[in-house]
């Protein structure tokens, strides 16, 4: 090791120059293991990296799951309905009556009913009903009814799947975007809180 004062070469284990007594500078790479150990002990534990994701999943997963299930069921229902009426003729049916009315459990304000529509094919009257019961006010006075030309009593009154599909798709997209934003925000806040607590 060369002395910074007189330039004399000294053995590497010398603490001072053998010629002039000047302290010799020791290599700094020996401190690396200690630095590495400090970084390992002060780095945030893995749970802090995933805690934001876990909290976000608990909050948003029920909404995402429910919206996805409704979207899938509605899409399947609409697809099956379209196949069913593919070779059917159609005509206009008029609201005739309500039947099988009932109140939902614990609710005496909304009366749910099945509706009966009447339509005419080749001068003969037929009756048809939508598959789902609903509040009386939600049934339209006139609807399009699809019937089998070979058997006009075999009918389908299409359900309003389009609105359900659109609504569930909007909820699903909004829930996913919200989950991403909240997840990122929570993760950063948790990491910053940990650093403040550790004095980093």
Pair 94, 153 in one domain: yes
d(CA 6, CA 68): 80
Pair 94, 147 in one domain: yes
Query: Does residue 139 surpass a pLDDT of 50?
Result: yes
Contacts of 55 (CB under 8 A, 6+ apart): 186
Yes or no: say if 193 and 99 are a contact pair by the CB < 8 Å rule.
Answer: no
d(CA 129, CA 157): 7
pLDDT of residue 133: 84
Yes or no: say if 10 and 1 are a contact pair by the CB < 8 Å rule.
Answer: yes
Query: Does residue 130 surpass a pLDDT of 60?
Result: yes
111-121 vs 142-148, strand pairing mode: unpaired
Q: Is 20 a domain residue? A: no
Q: Over the chain, what is the mean pLDDT?
A: 81
Tokens standing for residue 96: 């005739």
Pair 117, 61 in one domain: no
pLDDT of residue 150: 92
Q: Give me the number of domains the chain comprises.
A: 2
> Secondary structure of the chain: what % helix, strand, coil (to 5)?
45, 25, 30
Pair 143, 100 in one domain: yes
Tokens standing for residue 23: 């302290």
Q: How confident is the model at residue 48 (pLDDT cuts 50, 70, 90)?
A: low
Domain residue limits at 179 = 47-85+159-200
d(CA 166, CA 171): 9
- pLDDT (mean) for 120-129: 94
Minimum mean pLDDT range among 10-24, 29-43, 62-76, 169-183: 29-43
Q: Give the other-Cβ count within 10 Å of 117's Cβ.
A: 24
Q: How confident is the model at residue 44 (pLDDT cuts 50, 70, 90)?
A: low
> Would the pTM count as exceeding 0.75?
no
E-state strands within 11-159: 89-103, 111-121, 124-128, 134-135, 142-148, 151-156
Q: How confident is the model at residue 35 (pLDDT cuts 50, 70, 90)?
A: very low
Q: Is 136 a domain residue? A: yes
Q: Is 152 a domain residue? A: yes
Contacts of 181 (CB under 8 A, 6+ apart): none
In angstroms, what is the C-alpha Rg of the chain? 38
């Amino acid at each position: 090791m060369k002395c910074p004062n007189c330039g004399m070469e000294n053995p590497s284990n010398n603490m001072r120059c053998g010629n002039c007594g000047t302290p010799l500078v020791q290599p700094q790479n020996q401190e690396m293991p200690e630095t590495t150990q400090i970084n390992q002990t002060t780095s945030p534990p893995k749970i802090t990296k995933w805690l934001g994701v876990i909290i976000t999943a608990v909050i948003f997963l029920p909404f995402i799951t429910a919206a996805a299930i409704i979207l899938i069921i509605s899409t399947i229902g609409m697809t099956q309905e379209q196949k069913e009426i593919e070779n059917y003729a159609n005509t206009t049916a008029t609201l005739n009556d309500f039947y099988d009315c009932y109140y939902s459990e614990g609710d005496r304000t909304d009366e749910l009913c099945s509706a009966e529509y009447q339509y005419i094919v080749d001068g003969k009257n037929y009756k048809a009903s939508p598959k789902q019961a609903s509040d009386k006010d939600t049934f339209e006075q006139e609807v399009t009814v699809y019937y089998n030309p070979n058997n006009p009593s075999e009918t389908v009154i299409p359900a309003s799947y389009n609105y359900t599909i659109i609504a569930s798709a909007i909820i699903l997209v909004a829930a996913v975007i919200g989950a991403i934003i909240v997840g990122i925000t929570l993760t950063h806040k948790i990491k910053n809180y940990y650093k403040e607590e550790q004095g980093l």
